[in-house]
Amino acid sequence: MRYFKAFCVAAGVAVAAAVMPFGVSAQGARCDRACLTGMMTRYLNAMVAHDPAALPVAPTVKFTEDTVQMKLGEGAWKTVTKLRPYRVDFIDVQQGVAAVHTVVEENGAPVLFAARLKVVDRRLTEVETMVVRNREEGALWAPDNLKEPTAMMLYRPQASERMSRDQMVAIATRYPEGLRMGSFEKSDVPFAPNAYRFENGVRMAGPGCTFQPPSCENMRTQRIPTLAGMKRRLVAVDEEMGVVLFHLAFGRGSLPGPNAQKGLGLVTFEAFKVYGGQVHAAEAIFEAQPAEGPFGWE
């Protein structure tokens, strides 16, 4: 009899494994990399279709756009009409997070879009977005330069180049600390020789930079402001692709002229390509927001 019971248990496990949905682990309905990537695709498609009901959401789902909490389906959900080809995903399987940099359209006009999705039991529990529509909102503005992901962001580090999650975060953190100190040399950011920085489609540092060349070509020695009020949140760590994504608020002094007089500062979803012990790139989508405002996810 006990052998029969053992057989039934084993058979039951086999059947459960056979019918378990793709991307679900035995520890609950956890998304793997393909599942999280697919969830981002579903989100973007539903937004263009103006159909939030097409998404699997938790009853307590929280949604923000530019740090303002609203009902899922409001804001850019009502105005976005098309997805452009540029899209870079940042997948954090450990956290159950899918994040993105992409370009969408509102009636033919380009819009820079960043988002973070939190997935629990294959349902969306948190949705955080940033929508940048023009130069006034973004300070820098060149969305038409973002036609496809850069070769660096598409590069998958080899096994010998990969680092632990903690090591990646520690190295990437030196960048915002450098902004806080006013010097990447003081914070000892280990930039690769050809490291670059893209911001809203503008190459602001590294080879071929457009901001005060040739001084901007070397990111480590580039002149930067001292932003003592810098705040940061860790958004995602994509260990497979070697990317650390931060939500950074630069604080007062990060924007000049009228924006500074309005009390605005730069806020960004900034992705750092980190592998082999070096920072190879920083790619950001950012906009002007209240310098002392909250992230909305404290």
Structure tokens at 42: 């579903």
Question: At residue 179, what is the residue type?
Answer: L
Which pLDDT value is given to residue 96? 97
Domain 33-133 architecture: Roll (3.10)
Residue 100's nearest CA partner among 54, 49, 162, 36 is: 36
Rg (CA), the chain: 21
Which pLDDT value is given to residue 258? 81
Q: How confident is the model at residue 28 (pLDDT cuts 50, 70, 90)?
A: low
In three-state secondary structure terms, 126 is strand
Q: What is the mean pLDDT of residues 170-176?
A: 98
Structure tokens at 133: 């529509």
Q: What is the mean pLDDT of residues 12-37?
A: 59
Q: Are 103 and 88 in contact (CB under 8 A)?
A: no
151-290 is a CATH 3.30.70.890 domain: no
Q: How confident is the model at residue 298 (pLDDT cuts 50, 70, 90)?
A: confident
| Alpha carbon distances (Å) from 159 to 164, 237, 241, 280 | 11, 16, 11, 17
Distance in angstroms (rounded) separating the CA atoms of residues 278 and 230: 22
Q: What is the mean pLDDT of residues 112-134?
A: 97
The pTM score is 0.89
| Alpha carbon distances (Å) from 12 to 18, 22, 33, 249 | 10, 18, 27, 52
Q: Are strands 109-120 and 123-132 parallel, antiparallel or unpaired?
A: antiparallel
Q: Are 259 and 252 in contact (CB under 8 A)?
A: no
HEC string for 167-188: HHHHHHHHHHHHHHHCCCCCCC
Torsion of CA 26, 28, 31, 35, to 10 degrees: 80
Spell out a b/e string for 30-63, using b for 16 or more CB atoms within 10 Å of the CB, else e.
bbebebbbebbeebbebbeeeebeebeeeeebbb
**For residue 16, is pLDDT > 50?**
no
Question: At residue 23, what is the residue type?
Answer: G
Report the chain's mean pLDDT, rounded to a whole number: 91
Mean pLDDT check: name the lowest of 107-116, 125-134, 253-262. Answer: 253-262
Residue 91's nearest CA partner among 155, 45, 24, 39 is: 39
Higher pLDDT, 15 or 110: 110
**For residue 130, is pLDDT > 50?**
yes
Q: What is the mean pLDDT of residues 107-128?
A: 97
Instruction: Count Cβ atoms below 10 Å from residue 292 Cβ, excluding itself.
Output: 13
Give span(s): CATH 3.10.450.50, the chain.
Answer: 33-133, 151-290
Mind listing the pLDDT tens digit for each residue in 57-71? 999 999 999 999 999
Instruction: Count Cβ atoms below 10 Å from residue 226 Cβ, excluding itself.
Output: 13
Q: Are 223 and 229 in contact (CB under 8 A)?
A: no
**DSSP class of residue 250?**
-
Question: At residue 235, what is the residue type?
Answer: V
Compute the residue count for the chain: 298
Distance in angstroms (rounded) separating the CA atoms of residues 50 and 52: 6
